[in-house]
């Protein structure tokens, strides 16, 4: 059986994220595990074998936040490459971020996260965020109608 190794992988891992914005607030989750443990990020995670990217996005949001979402347009595709002190690649992800909309559920932190909450867009600078949040905000500001 092949075990997926997140640290020092042999190949990039593919993940998804969902940018959820309502009433000028963005939904963020506080990561419970590395990479970016303790930082606020958009909900998301890795795609499982046999799962489409859209199915993974819906599942990850449900697992991390308790919310049901519909998936919209692709917001962007990002590479996250984190090297260790010896310049070896410790993490390598290719992340597909989608715009999404909440269609049900009750917000509560779930698996892999320690907190989940809506932030006003202007308060994002006051909390420690992952690089994906900054990219998500750039995308939202370019497409505020989405």
Residue 43 has pLDDT above 70, yes or no: yes
Helices (H), the chain: 53-65, 131-142
pLDDT confidence tier of residue 145, bands split at 50, 70 and 90: low
pLDDT average, residue stretch 69-78:
94
Residue 1 has pLDDT above 50, yes or no: no
Give CA torsion, residues 44, 50, 54, 57, to 10 deg.
-20
pTM for the whole structure: 0.86
Residue 2 has pLDDT above 50, yes or no: no
pLDDT confidence tier of residue 7, bands split at 50, 70 and 90: confident
Classify domain 13-142 by CATH number.
Answer: 3.90.79.10
Q: How high is the mean pLDDT of the chain?
A: 89
pLDDT confidence tier of residue 95, bands split at 50, 70 and 90: very high
Residues contacting residue 34 through CB under 8 Å, at least 6 positions apart? 6, 7, 91
């Amino acid at each position: 059986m092949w075990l997926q190794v997140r640290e020092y992988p042999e190949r990039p891992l593919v993940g998804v994220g969902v940018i959820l914005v309502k009433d000028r607030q963005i939904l963020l989750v506080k990561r419970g595990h590395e990479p970016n443990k303790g930082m606020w990020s958009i909900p998301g995670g890795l795609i499982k074998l046999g799962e489409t990217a859209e199915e993974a996005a819906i599942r990850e949001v449900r697992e991390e936040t308790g919310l049901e979402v519909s998936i919209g347009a692709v917001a962007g595709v990002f590479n996250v490459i984190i090297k260790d002190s010896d310049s070896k690649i410790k993490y390598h992800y290719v992340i597909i971020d989608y715009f999404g909309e909440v269609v049900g559920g009750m917000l509560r932190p779930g698996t892999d996260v320690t907190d989940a909450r809506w932030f006003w867009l202007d308060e994002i600078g006051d909390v420690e965020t992952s690089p994906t949040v900054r990219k998500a905000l750039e995308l939202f500001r370019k497409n505020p109608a989405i």
